[in-house]
Structure 1
Amino acid sequence: MGEEADGFSDAGQAPGTEGHRQRLRDRFEQAGHEALADYELLELLLFRSIPRRDTKPIAKRLIARFGSFADVLSAPRRRLLEVDGVGPGVVQDLKVVHAAVQRFARGRVERKTVLSSWSEVLDYCRAAMAFSDREQFRILFLDKKNALIADELQQTGTVDHTPVYPREIVKRALEVSASAIILVHNHPSGDPTPSRADIQMTRQIVDIAAPLGITVHDHIIVGRQGHASFRGLKLID
């Protein structure tokens, strides 16, 4: 269904909508986003996408379908369009906000020594990948000072598998003159616990990279339930 659903067109407006909108704006201005529930923050965003309708029911349907504000922003376009009241314009606005979140998080990592900005690195990885419905494999390439040279999404797979080619990863590190790399991938299931295949693949990359002078600083797995660090788990020396 598109933005014309629920009996309201752009020519009309739900009774009492403007007063409700102003009260929600005032709460946001006075108390900040932490004072708002996920559906209320989403509702506030939808005000701009749907100017003449009550957006609360739409926001609640989106949260009920996907689970959280972050999940809504990360949801596939085709699934967002399945929600009553959501049309292409709404989806585009949600995706613009999602892109802005990722760009902001990445900006906090760029031009910094990555290992001294670890919380920002984790925030960026979660923003970029944690809520995706498909596995993705990303590599952060670092120079001798551990500053970010490049950030590349190498592969996108299925809901539970991404093909990874260790020699190609090391080859790419050599091409960009990286001295170190950080491996990142997501688990759409939400549980970031490394699988046996994850551990074996990481060891292969370490074994190939080490003789060439390339250090694998860490392999981070992100999911809705948090993250797992191979170095923290002592799976990388």
Structure 2
Amino acid sequence: MVKPALALVVVLMAIVMSYLQRLGLEGEMIYSIFRAFLQLSIIGFVLQFIFSQENSAWILLAYLFMTLNPVPNFPLQVCVAGYTAGQRAKHVPRGKYVAGASILAGTAVTMLLLVVLNVFPFTPRYIIPVAGMMVGNAMTVTGVTMKRLRDDIKIQMNLVETALALGATPRQATIQQVKRALVIALSPVVDNAKTVGLISLPGAMTGLIMGGASPLEAIQLQIVVMNMLLGASTVSSIMSTYLCWPAFFTKAYQLETKVFSSD
């Protein structure tokens, strides 16, 4: 642990700068670094155990841990990604469940295609890190999509209500807001794909090169990673818009005003 300990110097630099600029983030920085150390240490031992197992059930268990919302009497389904994305869109009814289901759908479809096409073998050493990258990315995109969609509808309630009064369905009345939310949420993923290799070398590629792999091998993996992130994020974000609609409208196709009355 000598090198990780030495790397704390850059954290100390950030803390000092935060103090000098009076940002008030010093305590949060210390807490976040301590939490990251604790979480990564635990997950390191857990992955070491899972990688040594031959049973594929451990893969599914780890995948569910990262994606699913908590279900009563089933504490193993911990709300990690769904909870975090739902917190971003906390004013969306059942937002945590919507986010969890959307993330699970997007990542599961993408992972299934990768396994069927034999891009990755169905082993813990490949599936768990790949799923982790997809879940994390889909979590961010889904949270932004849900929050932006709700906020846009609130801002343009008069326009949406006019469309509904003229006979439009909820989908027709909010199609522009949905498009805007999806474009805003997916733009960072698309922009990252445009600039990868030119502005920055992503983590997967950098890790392989530092681990001794050839740059050509690292590039092949990074291309796969960028493709899967874009696919999973797109499916998850679109799915979240469909799952949000029932909470935004009444059975009579009217806006559910209580959803948009709080901030």
Range into which the TM-score falls when normalised by the shorter chain: under 0.3
- Identify the structure with the greater helix proportion: 2
Q: TM-score, normalised by structure 2?
A: 0.22
Larger RCO, structures 1/2 (Cα 8 Å, 6+ apart): 2
